[in-house]
Structure 1
Amino acid sequence: MSAPRRVTRVLLDGLGIGECPRWHDDRLWFCNWGTNQIVAVDVEGNSEVVMDDATVSPHSIDWLPDGRLLIVPGTATCGARLLVQDADGSLTPYGHLDGLPSGFNEITVDGRGNVYVNGADFDFLAFLDRAMKDMAAGDQTPLHERPDFVPGYIALITPDGTARQVAGDIAFPNGMVVTPDNRTLIISESFTGTLTAFDIAEDGQLSNRRVFADGLGPDGICIDAEGAVWTSQGQRDCVRVAEGGKILDRVELERDPFACMLGGPDGQTLFIMAAVWNPENPFGGPRTGQVLVTEAPARHVGWP
């Protein structure tokens, strides 16, 4: 007998594409792509636009241990690749990033205040447009094997602002999590359908690269107290996967998931950012983005 369909409810709708969700100060915070906003919503659905800035166009967010917000801008017009919001609300550049490749995507701050950012130094939407046209013409070359693909990287920014690359050859890097003991980092390699794990040294360096799980469609991810990761497998589902690849739970969806996050008062509410993906105009047209919620079997741990 198949497992019963897990019930979800819509907490918030009318969004662009919700990305980089974070449970912080009793609310879910996320970037609302296509609107230049950061939005915060509580478990009752009461929402607030906490930033609306076309100059910054927030792309991804996380918090330093001292409570300051870090923002990866989605535009170069703000003059910095990573911003920190100080107590008075002002935004200033964070870290010494000149030696790093461009194209920051996701960000995760671990329990020691180390900041991990990832990215890939190419125009993703232009790349995807070319790939889709080639596929329509019969070229089925995997995305990470195309000649115009540029491998991604993970970079570390330590609390003193020093930055260095700590991993490379990532097949389009997406969501990252750090385990609660600060000893393992797991990253989504979206173009190979893989969750990849690294050991974290005391100085933040990454080593012992290995497959945590494959056969997935991973984007934004989170980890629970039983060591399982929530991510996506196909185009319209959200799955809970154990190390080794066993699927422990599944949430079927009516639109595409872009990220998920555990939170709520007990850490066992699963928030799913979903929208109808329109590759021809991903940030325009109808606002199909939603925040969906369902109960999870294990609470949130780790970072983010």
Structure 2
Amino acid sequence: MATTLRKLLDGGTFFEGPRWRDGRWWISDFYSHAVFTVTPEGEATQIAEVPTQPSGLGWLPDNSLLIVSMLDCRLLRQGTDGKLEPYADLSAYAGGHANDMVVDEQGRAWVGNFGFDLMEQEDPRPTQLVRVDPDGSVTPVADDLRFPNGSVITPDGRTLIVGETFANRMTAFTINADGSLGERRTWAQFGPTPELGPQAEMRQQIKVAPDGCCLDAEGHIWVADALNGRCLRVAEGGEIVEEVAAPEGLGVFACMLGGHDGRSLLLCCAPDSLAKHRAAAREASLWVCEVDVPHAGLP
């Protein structure tokens, strides 16, 4: 499939957590410490300030917005009045910055974390995924994950699929009725799982580094490959069926399907993901292309 990318917005620090809702894109910008909405024409409006760095976004059944606050490993809730308030404390369960999130139809939030200090080049360590229930309680639901990152829930609400950035894979879980996770299985394997060790050595072994992702109506997942400057459409099992390359000199760190027909693919791009580079620059951008198969599932 030939794709033509068009720039939607530039001048960001590091865009992440893209979502489509109410006719517009929603996006976190790490080092601007803000959440924005962006119209299909590229007009941006700040809707929240998060001094401790926003990441994953999702909505509760009452339409209030949940925002992952990365540096203090908390969830914040923004009501329809626009006021931000504490919602859940994840710090006891996170081995590094809190990261991406998917919220299901029941209002349960599934949140990952780095597991180690990525920005200081620590060696990767396994970590756990947590579930935050509508009362704000936090429950660990899966462990031994290598940087649980972008996550999706299938349209029937029965399967959670998590990208493991430092494991060359995406892992699926059955969601039980009580919110526990059942059968654990590999949804896609892109290469051998690296042995834990120095981060630089592990990076060299990673064929695909799953970051932000979304599902389409044919059961494929579009996933940002954080180490290789591309966005991939992946079939269960790991076959790469389509690829969209980032503009020259940029990486892709998240993606989302949206638009009026669900066929607009949004890419979050930046030259790299290092805080020491991104915090002082305004080089992040959003790009859009049209694809054939529309969005499905959550987020």
- Deviation track 1:186-235 (CA, whole Å, cap 9, x = no partner) reads 11100012111111111111121111112222100000111000013451
Structure 2: which 5+ residue stretches go unaligned? 191-207
Report the RMSD for the aligned CA atoms in angstroms: 1.9
1:170 aligns with 2:162: no
Q: Which moved more, 1:91-100 or 1:216-225?
A: 91-100
- The residue number in structure 1 matching 2:165 is 190
Matches of 2:57 and 2:233, distance apart in 1: 23
Q: Which moved more, 1:240-249 or 1:276-285?
A: 276-285
Structure 1: which 5+ residue stretches go unaligned? 131-147
- The residue number in structure 2 matching 1:89 is 82
> One-letter code of the match for 2:172?
A
Deviation of 1:88 after TM superposition, in Å, equals 2.2
- The 1:101–1:287 alpha-carbon spacing in structure 2 relative to 1, beyond 3 Å, is closer
1:64 aligns with 2:60: yes
Check whether the contact 1:239–1:248 (CA below 8 A) recurs between aligned residues: yes
Check whether the contact 2:74–2:91 (CA below 8 A) recurs between aligned residues: no
Say which of 105, 108, 130 aligns to 1:155: 130
1:117 aligns with 2:111: yes
Deviation of 1:25 after TM superposition, in Å, equals 1.2
Please give the residue correspondences for 1:34-113 in structure 2 after superposition, counting only pairs within 5 Å. Answer: 34-54=31-51, 56-76=52-72, 81-95=74-88, 100-101=93-94, 103-113=97-107
1:181 aligns with 2:156: yes
Matches of 2:166 and 2:50, distance apart in 1: 31
SS in 2 for 1:265: coil
Q: Pick the structure with more strand per residue.
A: 2
Say which of 235, 241, 256 aligns to 1:248: 241
Kindly report structure 1 stretches of 4+ aligned residues shifted beyond 3 Å: 95-103
TM-score (norm 1): 0.85
- The residue number in structure 1 matching 2:22 is 25
Deviation of 1:73 after TM superposition, in Å, equals 1.3
- The 1:98–1:271 alpha-carbon spacing in structure 2 relative to 1, beyond 3 Å, is closer
SS in 2 for 1:232: strand
- The 1:75–1:193 alpha-carbon spacing in structure 2 relative to 1, beyond 3 Å, is same
Matches of 2:91 and 2:117, distance apart in 1: 20
Provide the aligned length of Structure 1 versus Structure 2.
278
Matches of 2:130 and 2:172, distance apart in 1: 15
Deviation of 1:244 after TM superposition, in Å, equals 1.0
Say which of 217, 226, 230 aligns to 1:225: 217
SS in 1 for 2:295: coil
**Larger Rg over CA atoms:** 1
Check whether the contact 1:120–1:173 (CA below 8 A) recurs between aligned residues: yes
Matches of 1:195 and 1:83, distance apart in 2: 27
Say which of 243, 258, 269 aligns to 2:253: 258
- Deviation track 1:32-86 (CA, whole Å, cap 9, x = no partner) reads 11111111111111211222343x432322111211011111343xxx7111112
TM-score (norm 2): 0.87
Matches of 2:134 and 2:157, distance apart in 1: 15
- The residue number in structure 1 matching 2:196 is none
